[in-house]
Chain A
């Protein structure tokens, strides 16, 4: 399995522009998470999906942020318009569902997208 795939690896954009980050979770995983990592706040959970349905988006900082998961193999995180304070590393992660009453607990991360908003 190729693991969780994120693109692009690096994104440099100007303030006000729209940014779209992409994620392909591991096949068969039912949960997908978007995290943001900064020096000041560490890893913050932005939103997560279960079976393509957004469950909790309370971590999304503002209306400028939106996330979608149109199918089990693809998710996007969009920032429109972007601002310099959005500069961070954005991680996507996926996890299998509980199986046979046991919690399969491992979280699989992508390699992240380094976003720089100038």
Chain B
């Protein structure tokens, strides 16, 4: 099975500042997808951003962007201009087209606190 590691159980950021959440993964595949999911207190898992491994350009979605380092197997999430509504658990996830099970592999999550 693939492994996804989030080494920061908790992070905090001042409102309007920028924060980066770290994620590393282990795979022998060359083609795969990486994701960041957000889980606010409502429990709903929300897809924040995704990255295809074959694309060199880092994905961006408004205030959210990633730093994808394929050789280093690193996939960090940058949140710019942090807002109170960004406070949540953030999960990094991996999925490979060659996985017959179509499985997603999740990290253990990073709890983000936004300080007003």
User: A91: CB under 8 A from chain B?
Assistant: yes
**Which of A48, A89, A103, A112 is in CB contact (< 8 Å) with B103?**
A48
Q: How large is the interface on B (under 10, 10 to 19, 20 to 34, 35 or more residues)?
A: 20 to 34
- The answer to whether residues A103 and B97 also contact, given A89-B43, A111-B43 and a CB cut-off of 8 A, is yes
User: A75: CB under 8 A from chain B?
Assistant: no
The residue on A at minimum CB distance from B95 is: A105
> What CA separation (Å) do A43 and B109 show in the bound complex?
9
Query: At the interface, is chain A mostly helix, strand, loop or mixed?
Result: strand
- The answer to whether residues A43 and B91 also contact, given A95-B102, A106-B47, A111-B44 and a CB cut-off of 8 A, is yes
User: B68: CB under 8 A from chain A?
Assistant: no
A98 and B97 within 8 A (CB): yes
> What CA separation (Å) do A93 and B93 show in the bound complex?
14
Q: Which residues of B contact A48 (CB under 8 A)?
A: 101-103
User: A118: CB under 8 A from chain B?
Assistant: no
Q: Which of A23-39 contact B (CB under 8 A)?
A: 31, 33
A105 and B91 within 8 A (CB): no
The residue on B at minimum CB distance from A114 is: B43
> What CA separation (Å) do A107 and B105 show in the bound complex?
11
Number of interface residues of A (CB under 8 A): 23
User: B45: CB under 8 A from chain A?
Assistant: yes
User: A19: CB under 8 A from chain B?
Assistant: no
Q: Which residues of A contact B95 (CB under 8 A)?
A: 103, 105, 107
Q: Which residues of A contact B102 (CB under 8 A)?
A: 31, 48, 50, 95, 98
- The answer to whether residues A43 and B106 also contact, given A55-B101, A105-B95 and a CB cut-off of 8 A, is yes
Q: How far is the CB of B46 from chain A (nearest CB, A)?
A: 8
> What CA separation (Å) do A103 and B43 show in the bound complex?
26
Interface pairs (21), CB distance under 8 Å:
A31-B102, A33-B103, A42-B91, A42-B109, A43-B91, A43-B109, A48-B102, A48-B103, A55-B101, A56-B101, A56-B103, A89-B43, A91-B45, A105-B33, A105-B50, A106-B47, A106-B50, A107-B104, A109-B44, A111-B42, A112-B44
Identify 19 new A-B residue pairs, CB closer than 8 A, beyond the known A42-B106, A42-B109.
Answer: A42-B107, A43-B91, A43-B106, A50-B102, A55-B101, A89-B43, A93-B45, A98-B102, A103-B33, A103-B95, A105-B35, A105-B95, A106-B47, A107-B47, A107-B93, A107-B104, A111-B44, A112-B43, A114-B43
